[in-house]
Amino acid sequence: MREHLYEAGFAWDVELIAMAGALELDIVEVPITWEDQPGSTVSPVRTSVQLASALLASRHRAKQIRDSRVHNAIAATREEPTALVDRHE
């Protein structure tokens, strides 16, 4: 599964769920307690735009995993991104 993950930051979990669904893996919901941190540097607008973009990219890659001819054709015209596991940041 790791080789299918490309999104970092806030979009990581969205992509994880998309890839798990595409790979037909079971997903279990685990509740957490959220604690807001004063002084957060998250930009509501910028982060929302980044998440929307990541959602579209994740859906595209999930469709490729499911062998969508349309999404495979689109991917063939683009340079493949580097998976998180292969990045040296």
Taking only the tens place, the pLDDT of each residue in 7-21 is 877 788 888 888 899
Query: CA-CA distance, 30 to 75, in Å (whole number)?
Result: 34
pTM: 0.70
Query: CA-CA distance, 76 to 25, in Å (whole number)?
Result: 26
State how many domains the chain has: 1
Asked, for residue 53, whether it belongs to a domain, the answer is: yes
Asked, for residue 35, whether it belongs to a domain, the answer is: no
Asked, for residue 38, whether it belongs to a domain, the answer is: no
Asked, for residue 11, whether it belongs to a domain, the answer is: yes
Asked, for residue 64, whether it belongs to a domain, the answer is: yes
Range of the domain at 54: 2-25+44-86
The answer, yes or no, to whether residue 63 has pLDDT greater than 80, is: yes
